[in-house]
Amino acid sequence: MSSMTLSRAINSGLRRALEDDPKVLLMGEDIGTLGGVFRVTDGLQKDFGAHRVMDTPLAEAGIIGTAVGLAYRGYRPVCEIQFDGFIYPGFDQIITQVAKLHYRTGGAVKMPLTIRVPFGGGIGAVEHHSESPEAYFAHTAGLRVVSCSNPQDAHTMIRQAVACDDPVMFFEPKRRYWTKGEVDEEITGQTPSIDSAAIVAAGDDVTLVTYGPLVATARDAAIAASDEGVSVEVIDLRSLSPIDFATVEASVRKTGRLVVTHEASQFGGIGAEIAASITRRCFYYLEAAPERVTGFDVPYPAAELEDHHLPDLDRMLDAVDRVMDRHNSLSGREG
């Protein structure tokens, strides 16, 4: 075990992946000598060579499309998209080719791509640098979509993603890149499975489901709620497609109350999918209608406004109050 930042944990996971399999290649913009704009690939080109850690021309469709061709040849490309808002030029290749080639070829051609995307807000960035586009990909059959929330998961999950024969969209919570934690780098195999959710705080009254950057906020919310006598169970989804509904269902059957929170906009989002599916699975166990705490249905606002947009501890607690049918703990308004 050693203590490292989330960013470093991904770096060490990529290093292990490069060591473990000569077919693993890293490609992206500025990932070589610079080490990526977030330094996630720092030092890897120096140690593994420019043929395995490749600076590409500045074109996202080019990166993804070229990776597809490499996958035809048995390579396992790991593509870095520099920022969430720059993935759209590569969107067509991801949706029409990466997601469908295994299906189109009746299983003859595998697409073991990992597409790394630093995502989410909270770092005071300019436009197109704070977005949460994960639902677009979760909506597309053939893509696995995951997000890590802590250094250990970042390390374990990136290695599992690279080893996975399906294409994996790997969303990295950029505002948590500098979060430190203990990391065991001697993991082997697939435990816990990359598509399993984790209960990160146990509780009995409310199930609070989230992923990526908001897991830390949700844990803080659970601590704050417990000061008021409300016991909140926090679930880190880890995988957004497929979703580990069994874990969420078991929790909601126990608590009877569900709150889902994510930075991404509400309409047609991950929260809607969870609310609908869990309502169907747990209808007779529910004490209240599921609540969503999300970014608003607006374009991601300028940095001076982003604190209004991003779900925070207070908004999560408000939703907890509503599903508990309690007076709002701040305003005193009825739930």
Partner 1 sequence: MNFSNETLKELYRLMVSVRHVDQAAVSWQRQGLLPAYAPELGQEAAQVGSGYVVDTSRDFVFPTYREMGVARAMGVDMVEYMSTHKATWHGGMYNPVETRLAPIQAVVGGSVLHAVGWAHGARLNGPDDDGTYPVAMTYFGDGASSQGDVHEAMNFAAVMAAPVVFFVQNNGWAISVPTERQVAGGSVAARAAGYGMESVQVDGDDVVAVAEATSRAFEHARAGKGPMVVEAMTYRRGPHSTSDDPGRYRTLDQERDDAGEDPVTRLRKRLEADGVADEPFFTRAVEDAKAEAEQIRAGIEALGSRPGSEMFEYVFQESTPALHEQARQWREESEHV
- Point out which residues bind partner 1 (CB under 8 A): 25, 51, 56-57, 59, 61-62, 64-75, 77, 89, 92-93, 96-97, 100-110, 141-142, 144, 164-166, 195, 242-243, 245-246
Given the residues 51, 128, 129, 308, select the one marked as catalytic. 129
Closer to partner 1 by Cβ: residue 76 or 129: 76
* Residue among 53, 57, 16 nearest 35 (CA): 53
Between CA 203 and CA 90 the distance in angstroms is: 41
Alpha helix (H) ranges present in 77-133? 91-92, 101-104
Contact 264, 132 (CB under 8 A): yes
Clarify whether 129 is annotated catalytic: yes
Closer to partner 1 by Cβ: residue 164 or 221: 164
Closer to partner 1 by Cβ: residue 76 or 174: 76
Q: How far is the CB of 39 from partner 1 (least distance, A)?
A: 24
Q: How far is the CB of 36 from partner 1 (least distance, A)?
A: 19
Q: How far is the CB of 238 from partner 1 (least distance, A)?
A: 14
Q: What is the dihedral of CA 268, 270, 271, 276, to 10 degrees?
A: 80
Q: How many CB atoms lie within 10 A of CB 286?
A: 18
Contact 167, 115 (CB under 8 A): yes
Between CA 174 and CA 213 the distance in angstroms is: 8
Q: How far is the CB of 145 from partner 1 (least distance, A)?
A: 12
Closer to partner 1 by Cβ: residue 93 or 255: 93
Between CA 299 and CA 11 the distance in angstroms is: 31
* Residues recognised as catalytic: 129
